[in-house]
Structure formats: C-alpha cells, structure tokens
C-alpha cells in the first residue's frame, strides 16, 4: 500500500469461508486486520499471518461493544469494515419459531448495523472509510423455503442503499457484495437444519427435496472459490470510487438477470423445476 500509515480493517465471520479468505487477502494487501468470530480458535491461522483476533458474536451487543472498544483503543478505528458474518435459516414459515426468525435478523442485519453504528464516528471524523456489506444474490432473488433468509438479505441491501446516501457527504463509501454459489459449508448447514425442523409433517416432501437439491448444489467443487470474493472485496476497497454493488460467483449474474427481466411467474417456475 502506498500510504505511509498502515490502514486498518475489520472482517467479521472470519473463522471460515469467505470471511477467512477476505481477511487473508487484506493482510496480504498490507492492512492491519482485525478478525472477529464466535470462536477465536478457528482464527489461529489468521493470527499467525498477523491478524488480531477478537471474540465476537454479532448477536451479542456486549461482545460487539467490547471488540469495538479494543479496536478504538489500539487503532483509533478502522478504515474498512467488512460485515461478512451471517448464516442461512431455511424452512417453511409455518414451522420456524419467531425466536429463530428474530435471531436470523439479529445475525444478518442488526449485528452489522450495530457494529457500523459504533465504528462510524471515527470514520466520520477522518472523513474517509469503506463499509463492505456481504449480502448475496439472495438479496435480489428468492428460493423455496428461504423466506426468512431472503428477508434478511433483502433488508441488508435496502439498509446499505440508504446508508450510502447518508454517508456520502462524509467521504465514506458503502459497498454491497452479492456472492453467488460459493464453496463454503452453507449448503450442509441449510440442509441439516431443514431436515431436522421439517423433515416430517405437512412440508416433509418439499423440505426433503430442497435439502437434497441444496446438498447436491453446494460442495463437490461445483461452486466458486471463496478467494474470488476476497479479490472483489480487495478491488472495492482499493478503488478510488468503488461501485455500489459487485456481483460475483457462480449463478449470481444470470439468476439476478432472470429475476429482473422475466418476472415473478417465470422465476417461480424456474425455481420449482429444480425441486423435481
């Protein structure tokens, strides 16, 4: 990096998958990188590369405030915030308890929002910064039995757009990354939870079908490597004027385009055809 002052970044959900690869890329780019996740043990490799690991459950306000306090005390804030932590809750709306639905929003929406709130004052005082929100192609499309998951990703997209407008006068960029099918553990987590929750009862047939399709789709080398998303994040944070959105990963661009141009009924048919 050309700046004499080493810039600082925070990456959440850095214990695996995209978060881990994003952290590795930013470390190699020369950032001082803080990494956060519920388990510090899963970030030991990042610490060996030079990262500062922090225990943080993004649904726990006390842990968020404690982590931010450490960052402010040591570095005075961050230049880049990557809100990557999240998970997918799948199942029939009828079967998902409201507490589970609220927790999905706590992790995927309110956690990133709270972290952003606490780190914004230092960014605003510097008159610079980049906030990267990892949503999903699922923030623009929808899939069967994914009502609550897609609700959070659509919410994060809208939240990011409004945030971009209000922070522009302070020199702070807000960037949305919309990954497609990425080689992570997402598929197994979704399928296991789905079968456990709705593998029997009135939604058993459709739940088993979605679980089967999900397991077949994720893993097996069929998706895009997480490093691709890390490259996109790196490009965004180094851009003089980053794009508002970056779409990357298998299926992302065609699925978003199909949803946009062919309409709801045609998209419904395409989604349902995959469940046979």
| Cβ–Cβ under 8 Å, residues 106 and 151 | no
Helix, strand or coil, per DSSP, at residue 12: strand
- List, in order, residues 6 or more apart from 121 with CB less than 8 Å away: 77
Rounded to 10 deg, the angle between the 252-262 and 264-273 helix axes is 140
CA distances from 70 to 24, 66, 114, 194, 208 (A): 21, 6, 16, 38, 45
Active-site residue identified among 34, 90, 149, 203: 149
CA dihedral 30, 134, 35, 85 (to 10 degrees): -170
Q: Position of tokens 């623009």?
A: 140
State residue 146 phi and psi, 5-degree precision: -105, 25
Q: What order do you get walking across the sheet with 129-134 strand by strand?
A: 52-55, 32-37, 8-12, 80-83, 129-134, 172-179, 245-248
**Residue 149: active-site member:** yes
Return the closest-CA partner of residue 145 out of 203, 102, 202.
203
The residues, any chain, with a CB within 8 Å of residue 266's CB and separated by 6 or more, are 258
Please list the active-site residues.
149
């Amino acid at each position: 990096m050309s700046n004499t002052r080493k810039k600082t970044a925070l990456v959440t959900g850095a214990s695996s998958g995209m978060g881990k690869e994003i952290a590795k890329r930013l470390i190699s780019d020369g950032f001082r990188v803080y990494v956060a996740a519920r388990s510090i043990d899963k970030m030991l490799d990042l610490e060996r590369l030079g990262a500062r690991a922090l225990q943080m459950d993004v649904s726990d306000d006390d842990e968020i405030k404690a982590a931010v306090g450490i960052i402010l005390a040591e570095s005075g804030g961050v230049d880049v915030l990557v809100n990557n932590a999240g998970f997918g809750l799948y199942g029939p709306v009828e079967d998902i308890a409201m507490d589970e639905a609220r927790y999905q929003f706590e992790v995927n929406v309110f956690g990133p929002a709270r972290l952003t709130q606490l780190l914004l004052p230092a960014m605003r005082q510097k008159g610079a910064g980049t906030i990267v929100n990892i949503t999903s192609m699922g923030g623009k499309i929808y899939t069967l039995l994914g009502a609550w998951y897609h609700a959070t990703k659509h919410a994060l997209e809208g939240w990011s757009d409004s945030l971009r407008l209000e922070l522009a006068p302070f020199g702070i960029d807000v960037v949305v990354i919309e990954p497609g099918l990425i080689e992570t553990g997402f598929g197994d987590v979704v399928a296991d939870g789905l079968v456990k929750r709705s593998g029997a009862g009135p939604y058993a047939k459709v739940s088993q079908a979605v679980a089967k399709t999900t397991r077949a789709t994720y893993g097996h080398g069929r998706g895009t490597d997480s490093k691709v998303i890390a490259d996109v994040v790196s490009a965004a944070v180094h851009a003089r004027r980053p794009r508002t959105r970056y779409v990357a990963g298998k299926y992302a661009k065609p699925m978003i385009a199909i949803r946009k141009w062919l309409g709801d009924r045609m998209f419904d048919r395409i989604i349902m055809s995959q469940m046979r």
